Amino acid sequence: MNINYVRSFFPGLDSPWILMDNAGGAQIVSTVTDRMVQFYRESNVQLGASYGPSVLATERVAESQRIMAGYINAADPSEIIMGSSTSLLLRMLAMNLGKYFPKGSEIILTNCDHEANIGCWRELENLGMVIKTWKINPITLILDLSDLERLLTRQTRLVAFTHTSNVLGTVNPVAEITRLAHSRGAMVCVDGVAYAPHRMIDVAAWEVDFYVFSFYKTYGPHYAMLYGKKSILLNLPGNNHYFIGKDESPYKFQPGNVNFEFAWGICGLIDYFDALDKFHFPENENSDLRSSLDRVSILIQKHEHLLCERLLSFLSTKPQVRIIGQLSATETRVPTVSFVVEKTDSESIVLQIDKHKIGIRFGDFYAKKLIRDLGLEAQNGVVRISMVHYNTLEEVDKLILALDKII
């Protein structure tokens, strides 16, 4: 991967700081802001009117639905629901499913998710739902399917889990988990926030019922998207005005409508990935979207593997360091690396790294139940280094040099 070409798309990287807190929020790509400015200049009006700028605005928002459906391989644009954040979209979904599921229904959650995919479901206990917890293996730090199988019953209506832990960096086997849940008659809701910046999304191949992620973690604006199977969404009540019909998806889930400029802006992600594909694979100029995304995803994954392996190899040489997650870079890991240092407060490490103008982070990252169950609260959680494809090996080496003097 030509890293200089990649970085030329991210104006925020023109900074004295090395940015390795990307799981908290990645840099926005210029093709996204270009489209946002275009919307402001040419079509910054309300949708649905007959005059020219409104027609254009309406067409652009509809085109965004179509483009995003292709981006995640959804069957229909009506399956794409936009909103301000993953947390809000999951709360909206939980509110609707709470009215749809009968009392006594079981919902299975994990203890390694971000609280966004836990708290909203736990609140359904107030409506008579039964909540169960699928806990990670405390030794391997993975979700064992055998444990899930024991939790599933005829009353299970939903299994909510993370595609990739924002602390562990572990990629969970979404397709396998989904098949198991479906075999028992349960739906699945997958939080893809920590996965989406690193790999291609394919909701059709995984057969998931719901999939949600945030664009500000995925090189876009502070915005989010929820995918839901059309057959399910049509049966949910929605939370828009009473006169919005049940068949008006996604509008019935979007009170106040979408953010128009963000909707048009996120189409710039496809512009960016298309540019990467054409630059690195010019022989495939006329290929379809999914093939293009697949090539770029593999390219990104290979580069991120190098970043992750370089850092993990260094940390593994330090006997006082405990890596929280897989110890080496594999296909089932993204370059989000968390660790603790024996008898050391995690905050103290991060504050010393700040002096080197390298941005990393400490804490629980809203995965409070995971940090609690791992016994890491007293250390102020973990030190987390979260890299993406625009980071360089040289940046990793500078971080290693700084860490080597501290731990």
Q: What is the CATH number of the domain that holds 228?
A: 3.40.640.10
Q: Which two structure tokens, joined as six digits, stand for 110?
A: 């994990």
- Final residue of a domain: which of 234, 269, 304? 269
pLDDT of residue 13: 98
| Residue 256 falls inside a structural domain | yes
Do 88 and 183 lie in one domain? The reply is yes
Do 61 and 209 lie in one domain? The reply is yes
pLDDT of residue 179: 98
Q: How many angstroms separate the first and last alpha carbons of the chain?
A: 32
Confidence of residue 66 (pLDDT cuts 50, 70, 90): very high
pLDDT of residue 64: 97
Do 264 and 327 lie in one domain? The reply is no
* Average pLDDT over the chain, rounded to an integer: 97
Q: What is the pLDDT averaged over residues 8-22?
A: 98
Do 16 and 58 lie in one domain? The reply is no
Q: Which two structure tokens, joined as six digits, stand for 52?
A: 């020219």
CA distance 56 to 95: 34
Do 107 and 215 lie in one domain? The reply is yes
Residue 285: pLDDT above 90? no
Q: Which residues contact 150 (CB under 8 A, 6 or more apart)?
A: none
Q: What is the pLDDT averaged over residues 122-140?
A: 97
pLDDT of residue 119: 98
Residue 7: pLDDT above 90? yes
Do 197 and 113 lie in one domain? The reply is yes
Do 16 and 106 lie in one domain? The reply is no
| Residue 220 falls inside a structural domain | yes
Secondary structure letter of residue 27 according to DSSP = P
Distances (CA, A) of 269 to 4, 30, 120, 289: 18, 9, 29, 12
CB-CB contact of 239 with 95 (8 Å): yes
Do 95 and 9 lie in one domain? The reply is no
Q: What is the pLDDT of residues 159-197, one digit of tens each?
A: 999 999 999 999 999 999 999 999 999 999 999 999 999
Name the percent of the chain lying above pLDDT 70.
100
- Final residue of a domain: which of 241, 269, 297? 269
Q: Is the Cα dihedral 8, 9, 15, 21 positive or negative?
A: negative
List the beta strands (DSSP E) in 193-237.
210-214, 224-228
CA distance 269 to 294: 14
Confidence of residue 297 (pLDDT cuts 50, 70, 90): very high
Q: Which residues contact 351 (CB under 8 A, 6 or more apart)?
A: none
Distances (CA, A) of 184 to 124, 156, 188, 224, 233: 21, 8, 11, 30, 20
CA distance 358 to 267: 31
Q: Which two structure tokens, joined as six digits, stand for 79?
A: 């399956």
| Residue 281 falls inside a structural domain | no
Do 163 and 236 lie in one domain? The reply is yes
Query: What's the structural domain count of the chain?
Result: 2
φ and ψ of 103, to 5 deg: -60, 145
Grouping H, G, I as helix, E, B as strand and the rest as coil, residue 188 is: strand
| Residue 111 falls inside a structural domain | yes
Distances (CA, A) of 6 to 43, 270, 274, 303, 352: 30, 14, 12, 12, 29
Do 262 and 294 lie in one domain? The reply is no
Domain range for 299 is 3-28+289-404
φ and ψ of 291, to 5 deg: -65, -40
| Residue 227 falls inside a structural domain | yes
Do 263 and 307 lie in one domain? The reply is no
pLDDT of residue 287: 85
| Residue 278 falls inside a structural domain | no
Roughly what angle, to the nearest 10 degrees, separates helices 289-315 and 268-280? Answer: 80
Type and span of the H or E element at 57: helix 52-72
CB-CB contact of 317 with 305 (8 Å): no
CA distance 50 to 159: 45
Beta bridge partners of residue 211, listed in sequence order: 190, 227
| Residue 310 falls inside a structural domain | yes
Confidence of residue 321 (pLDDT cuts 50, 70, 90): very high
Do 174 and 312 lie in one domain? The reply is no
Q: Which two structure tokens, joined as six digits, stand for 377?
A: 């609260």
CATH of the domain at 319: 3.90.1150.10
Type and span of the H or E element at 41: helix 30-42
| Residue 284 falls inside a structural domain | no
Type and span of the H or E element at 158: strand 156-162
Taking the model in full, what pTM does it have?
A: 0.97
